[in-house]
Amino acid sequence: MHTPVMVDEVVEHLAPSRGGVFVDCTVGLGGHARALLDAGATRLIGIDRDRDALARAGEALTAFGDRVSLVHGDYRNLAEVLDERGIETVDGVLADLGVSSMQLDAPDRGFSFRRDEPLDMRMDRSSGATAAEMLAAADERTLADVIYEFGEERHARRVARAIVDAERTRRIETTGRLAEVVRRAIPRKGYSRIDPATRTFQAIRIWVNRELDGLDGFLSRTVGRLAPAGRLVVITFHSLEDRVVKHTLRALQTAGTITIRTKRPQVPTEAEIERNPRARSAKLRAATR
């Protein structure tokens, strides 16, 4: 079952009871969108790179009829989506970043090393190279930089070398084989709660989907499309994203464009984490135009 993260906090900050047009930039399976519409949003535009997610969101939101518009696209192209619909400003924007539960759980998507499946990792399977293709084409230095920067893996060079060596023998085309190569490359020092492959898988997923590319520009452009007193909420799931959001919002506040509503990022309650363990790493930041 799909459980949207921090849904009460999202509704509180975006205040859809004001009415108006709201955008869910990463609509996923429609959980946050449904909550916003139930709470009074007049119209909702949902964007997602994943066509499978959009189809599921369409089913979940069918009762709201023409109050909902679903768009296949990248959240960073929000301005173009609004321009195509003749919308100058909106009253609230939500960007819930990261991989959805559906993507993690669905077979053959390649996001998880819990199952052995094709190494894809693309959020949008209609375009771009798969993780397997990108690994096969990358040199050792590029891989080391990716794994260190996006995974914060201190054994990045050792892991990159192991991946390149393994590729010479036989292409790495499944999640199981990649996880095996990474685990062998990382020195074991007693029990660890986190699987040794976790950081490398995160790094490759971010690299394949360009998750950090243009995030700061997206935030600046989005704030420019908010109506006076319009609200922005961003939920991140790893420190790299949160760092970009924090610094960009601070710069926009210093410029007098927004007022930050969250002095520190809000995190899920213990009760929510117990219900939905994947919410554990979520951080929410909000601002008002």
Q: Which of 111, 106, 92 is nearest to 51 (CA)?
A: 106
216 & 204 share domain: no
Residues 6+ apart with CB under 8 A from 17: 39, 40
Q: Which amino acid is at 69?
A: S
Domain end marker among 185, 209, 233: 209
Residue 48 lies in a domain: yes
Q: Could you tell me the residue range of the domain that residue 142 belongs to?
A: 109-209
- Whether the per-residue pLDDT at 1 is higher than 60: the answer is no
Summary mean pLDDT of the chain: 93
3-state secondary structure 107-131: CCCCCCCCCCCECCCCCCCCCCCCH
163-213 confidence digits (pLDDT tens): 999 999 999 999 999 999 999 999 887 667 788 999 999 999 999 999 899
Give the pLDDT score at 98: 72
90 & 218 share domain: yes
| Percentage of residues in the chain having pLDDT higher than 90 | 81
> Residue 71's CB: how many other CB atoms inside 10 A?
20
C-alpha span between 26 and 96 (Å, rounded): 6
122 & 94 share domain: no
Mean pLDDT of 268-281: 92
Residue 253 lies in a domain: yes
pLDDT band at 101 (very low <50, low <70, confident <90, very high): low
What's the order of all strands across the beta sheet hosting 90-96? 68-72, 43-48, 21-24, 90-96, 226-236, 283-288, 259-260
More confident residue, 105 or 7: 7
Q: Residue 118's domain is classified under what CATH number?
A: 1.10.150.170
C-alpha span between 276 and 100 (Å, rounded): 13
Mean pLDDT of 117-144: 94
Residue 104 lies in a domain: no
State the total domains in the chain: 2
Residue 2 lies in a domain: no
| 77: DSSP letter | G
- Whether the per-residue pLDDT at 228 is higher than 60: the answer is yes
C-alpha span between 53 and 56 (Å, rounded): 5
171 & 217 share domain: no
- Is residue 151 a contact partner of residue 202, using CB atoms and an 8 Å limit? yes
* Beta-ladder partners of 46: 24, 70
What is the signed CA dihedral for 120, 124, 129, 134, rounded to 10 degrees?
Answer: -50
Q: Which amino acid is at 244?
A: V
Strands (E) in 27-175, as ranges, are: 43-48, 68-72, 90-96
Residue 92 lies in a domain: yes
Specify the 3-state DSSP secondary structure of 282: coil
The pair of structure tokens assigned to 122 is 């693309």
- Whether the per-residue pLDDT at 124 is higher than 90: the answer is no
Q: Which amino acid is at 210?
A: R
Give the pLDDT score at 109: 87
Residue 1 lies in a domain: no
124 & 142 share domain: yes
What is the signed CA dihedral for 215, 281, 112, 167, rounded to 10 degrees?
Answer: 60
